[in-house]
Amino acid sequence: MCPVQCGCGFVVLTALICLLVSGADSQERAYRTAGGSLLCPLVEDFYSYKRSTSYGPSRWGEISECCQGQRQSPRDLASSSGSLCGGGQHHMFSYNSSRALPGKLYNNGHDPTISFHGSNTAYLFNAPHTNGAYILDNIHIHFCTNAKGSEHAIDGQFYQGEIHLVHYKASYGTLAKAVQQEDGLVVVGIMLQSRAGYAGDMNQELVKIIQRMGNLEGTGKEYQLPVQLNVARIFPKSTNFYTYEGSMTSPPCSESVRWIIFREPVNVSSAEMDILRRLPNEDRSSTVQSCNDRPLQTGHTRVETNFACSSVTNMAAEEI
C-alpha cells in the first residue's frame, strides 16, 4: 500500500537533503509495541520502486526504520496455513454505504490513486481482529510493465495488479495519527487479472475508473479528475479472504496494518492494463509507469484463511 502522498515530485537535491535530515529523525521516533509491532510516523522523503537506485526498496530502511521490521508486507499467502472457520470463528466485514462515492483521481507518481474526504467516504466495520469503525481514505493500484504487478502472492502466484483500499481507524482522527498505532489501518487488497484471450466477466466499475485514469495529464494533485466509485462493485464475486497482521508496503512501512486480501481476482482487459502502464512514473523520466510493487518480505507472521465460511461484505447501512 502507498497511503502516503509523498514528495514524489521532489527534485533529487531536495530529496538528498530530506533523506539526510529527516531520515535520522524518523529512526529516532520508531516505536516497538508490547505486541512486537514496529511503528513509525509518515515520511515525506523521496523513495523509488526501481531496484537499482539508491532510493529503491532495499534502501528504504534508511528512510524509515520500520522498513526493516519483522512484520513487513507484502507476503506470499499460503492457502494451507489454516482456516479460521474451521476453528469455529466467522468474520464478516461491512461498509455503511452502498452508494457511489465522489473522489479525486490523480497520479502521485507511484500509484494512480482515488482519494476520499470528509462525509464523502465510507466506514468499514467488523474487520477481523479489530474494534470500531475505519474510514476509507484512498484506493490505489499496484502494477508493473510485466505480468508480475501484484505485491502479495497467493500460493506463489502473482497477478498483473493489486488494488488497495486503505482505511484508518476513525477514533484516531487522521491517517497520520493512525499510522503510528498498532491497530491504526485496515487495507483490503484485490488482485487484478488480465489474461490474453479471456472473454469472461470484466469488472465494469474498474474498467470505468481505469479508462478515466487514461485522461490524467500529469503527476501530482494539480492534475486531479473527479470520479464516482461504488466500492461494492469492485469486489470479486467470492468474498473469501486471507487476513494477517502486517505493514504498509511503502515508507514508512509502519507495522500498523490489518490486511484483508480477497482470494479471487477481478478481471480487466489488456487495454486497461496498457492505460496503467502508460502513466508517467515517479521521477517523470519516462512516459511508462515503472513497477510499483515492493518485493515479498519474510519474517514471522500468521496468515489466516477464511475459505470455509461464507464471509460476506454486507453493504447494508450500519450506525456510526
Shortest CB 259 distance to Zn ion, Å: 11
Name the one residue in this structure whose C-alpha cell is 515492493.
Answer: 294
Considering beta carbons, is residue 46 or 49 the nearer one to Zn ion? 49
Q: Distance between CA 273 and CA 198 in Å, rounded? A: 14
Shortest CB 2 distance to Zn ion, Å: 5
Comparing CA positions, the residue from 238, 227, 148, 230 lying closest to residue 190 is: 238
Considering beta carbons, is residue 246 or 280 the nearer one to Zn ion? 246
Shortest CB 308 distance to Zn ion, Å: 28
Considering beta carbons, is residue 2 or 77 the nearer one to Zn ion? 2
Considering beta carbons, is residue 2 or 303 the nearer one to Zn ion? 2
Q: How many residues bind Zn ion (CB under 5 A)?
A: 3
Stretch touching Zn ion by CB under 5 A, among 74-82, 113-121, 163-171, 295-303: 163-171
- Is 207 in a helix, a strand, or coil? helix
Comparing CA positions, the residue from 294, 281, 283 lying closest to residue 251 is: 294
Shortest CB 172 distance to Zn ion, Å: 19
Q: Name which position in 1, 39, 141, 209 contacts Zn ion (CB under 5 A).
A: 1
Beta bridge partners of 77: 154
Q: Distance between CA 292 and CA 307 in Å, rounded? A: 29
Residue 110 touching Zn ion (CB under 5 A): no
Shortest CB 206 distance to Zn ion, Å: 16
Comparing CA positions, the residue from 173, 191, 165, 150 lying closest to residue 3 is: 165
Contact between 314 and 123 under an 8 Å Cβ cutoff? The reply is: no
Residue 248 touching Zn ion (CB under 5 A): no
Shortest CB 149 distance to Zn ion, Å: 12
Contact between 66 and 257 under an 8 Å Cβ cutoff? The reply is: no
Q: Distance between CA 21 and CA 43 in Å, rounded? A: 11
Shortest CB 234 distance to Zn ion, Å: 15
289 CB contacts (<8 Å, ≥6 apart)?
Answer: 143, 145, 276, 277, 278, 279, 280, 281
Stretch touching Zn ion by CB under 5 A, among 51-59, 88-96, 160-168, 279-287: 160-168
Considering beta carbons, is residue 253 or 315 the nearer one to Zn ion? 253
Name the one residue in this structure whose C-alpha cell is 534508511.
Answer: 62
Considering beta carbons, is residue 261 or 303 the nearer one to Zn ion? 261
Shortest CB 277 distance to Zn ion, Å: 17
Residue 164 touching Zn ion (CB under 5 A): yes
Considering beta carbons, is residue 151 or 205 the nearer one to Zn ion? 151
H or E element that contains 39 = strand 38-39
Binding mask 114-153 for Zn ion (x = CB under 5 A): ----------------------------------------
Shortest CB 293 distance to Zn ion, Å: 9
Ranked by CB distance to Zn ion, the top (closest) residue is 1
Contact between 306 and 241 under an 8 Å Cβ cutoff? The reply is: yes
Q: Distance between CA 297 and CA 48 in Å, rounded? A: 17
Q: Name which position in 2, 6, 114, 309 contacts Zn ion (CB under 5 A).
A: 2
Q: Which segments of 58-133 are extended strands (E)?
A: 76-77, 93-95, 101-107, 112-115, 123-125
Task: Return residues touching Zn ion (CB under 5 A).
Answer: 1-2, 164
